[in-house]
Structure 1
Amino acid sequence: MDTYTQDSSGIFSLGGFSFQMRVFVYYMLTLKKGMQIEFETIDDVNIRKLKHQEIDKYDDNFVSKIVGNDTNVAVQVKRTSITESSVLKVLLNWIILESSENAISKYILFTHDEYKNSDILFSKSAEEQYEIIRKSTKGSKALITKVKKMYTDFESFEKRFNSIKSKYEFISINDMDEKIDENCSEHFRKAGINKVVYYDRIKELLKHVTVQIMESINRKKPYILSYPDFIKLIEDICSRMTEQITLPHYSDFKKLHSVDFNDLSIANSREYKQLLACNLPQPLIKIHLGYGEYYKDLRFRYMETNKLANIENIEETTYENYIISKHKLEIEGRDFPYNRFQETMNRSNTFAENDQIRFGSGIYLTKNEIENNQISWEDEENETT
């Protein structure tokens, strides 16, 4: 059994999630009855298949809105240095929003202190910005061209410009994780549960929102979460992450941790080579390697909450299933890698809370670093059979 020392500093960090997503969740946690939060792609940009780790690079292209009976707040997030060019794009997006049927009651430019950004959104006057727009020669699909066509006279442009300015707020922050923590404390029962479980709940929330938003971006559809759906999500997470149960959302995990065969650490791993020996097609190998990563993540969570018995029981049962399967196949004269793999995976493990954990523990035990209870679908030369 591995030894593990809990490092409390690692529990609190949400740095693995994009700043864009953390800001969205921060505002989502403020929802009240009758409200909803929206995330949408703006400017009709042709974004390639986007990965969640890259979203902060494209922050100009997204806007969040908090909508209620008397609320319609537009939030633009900037995780990079703010320049004259980038603030013009923000302003152009907001001019289009301000011209829509649903008038915005507040505009927020949200950034991170690490970039030491100054509030320069309105450093140029309406006249100066209008001249820049009027002189633009960009193509018809460009955002600036759309605004240029909308406002052929300065007076109407100035009216929109001043309206936005009167409803504008600049926010620069360096303690985003702490703000999320504050907003989550009641939803996730911080005072009444183990701190590791509490922060696992926050991470589950961020994972789920990240997946939903990424899917909506790639479908070019807005992501909309109403207050009732938000409460259902909170209840679901609380039921899956308790001091007794640790059950991360498998589908969310899979979508955020895709297996890349071009990654040499995967291609050279023992678990990959063992699955290859079973003559499995690449799509099945990918699925089973994903199970292994899912179990590895769960195993770490068990360690954080001192559920070492869970790990021992799951892995001991998986290894026993392997030994029983191997012996059965030897007697039947069918002891080949695929049969050994399939027979082991088909056996039950009541200590595993779902099939992905059961399968994943089998893949995990084929890792090279496993000293006790290592599994082999194909015996290696130095193994005793």
Structure 2
Amino acid sequence: MSTIQDQHTAGPIAIGFDYQFYYFMYLALELKHGQKIGFEVKDDVHIDREDGTTVLFQAKHTIVKNTDGSLQNLTTLDADLWKTLSNWATFIKTGNTNSDFLNKHSFILVTNKSENNNDFINSLSLFKVDENIDKALEKVIELENKTKDETLKKYLKNVSSLGKRKLKSFLLKLTIETDVDEIIEKIKNRIFENIRQENLIDAVFEKLSSNLQLAKYTDIKERNKFEISFRDFNDKFGKCFKAAYENKPLPKREFPILLPDDLESQIFIKQLLDIGEIQSGSKEIRIYTTQMLKALNNFSYWVDENFVLPTDMDEFKKNSIQIWVNEFKSKYRQIERQVNSGSLIEDLENDIKNLGVDLIDCLRKQDLFIPSYPSLGIEHSNGHYYALSDKLEIGWHFDWESKYKV
């Protein structure tokens, strides 16, 4: 019973259809402006080009393996090969105007089978160099006489009956691609070429695959042709690529935090101590240091792992410093006028310290963001400002540059 079930399983047929669909998806990802791709309309797959010509694709898949574990070869008398060529020969014969059909169509057979010194493919390669149709036709007739399989004889005879002129045009426009396997991996590589972000390939693949499958099912169910133009692909399926470009939070990692031995010797802590925002020995010193190191660790991680471009980090830094510049000017405008009028900074120290605390309170409310990403969150934003002040790129005291820069 199991043997009969094995013989009648739909698995190999189903995977053959899947192979055709994934090959369609693979080609759709490289569709050019003015082109249209179809699935099971003019052939397994076809592409209508802007110049009025059409490429017909037949996709053949096998799961049969040789004794060494390799996939079945595309033999010289392979049934899939000659059935395909016979079908195309029939297309040529039954076209409205035969010569016009050949002028406007080219033919590509794609298979995951290996070539392995296929005699016909070798003859086809030689024909494309010397264009000797007599030799090519002789090879087809030789194979027709060689096989005892009546079905194969019928396929071969149909091809040879095209006659020399049409057969020559057909063979010149025929391509046979073997070893086209791992089709899903090829699709993902093509997606990668589009989005340039390896960590988002699977998300885009899943969205695109499911939406194309749904569109195919709906169109065929409603007896419509499943065809997609370049514009259709962008309009209907462009959103599948949104995962690569939409604003999503940057991944935050918990790195080990190694606090320095002398926390109060850090420049950013000295600045906070000097304006009276914290007191020596307070627990906030450890909290602020931890926030700064968390931010620095994640910034380095995002750049190293290519989540963020260095140019985006530069823009982020410039923007955050500009926020500080604006707030600094706003807080200290009156102090600056007094100093310019002759007042001594030492005499204004109490007001400066109070304004310095107001300044940092204002900056702590900023929820910063890196271009193309949503907010960092308050903790990382605060940590970033602590890091800037530790590097003496910003300060809190009105006279911070003179006090801390050597």
Q: Does the TM-score normalized on the shorter chain lie above 0.5?
A: no
What range describes the TM-score normalised by the shorter chain of this pair?
A: 0.3 to 0.5
Structure whose residues are more often helix by fraction = 2
Larger radius of gyration: 2
- Greater relative CO, 1 or 2 (CA 8 Å, sep 6+): 1
TM-score by length of 1: 0.41
TM-score by length of 2: 0.39
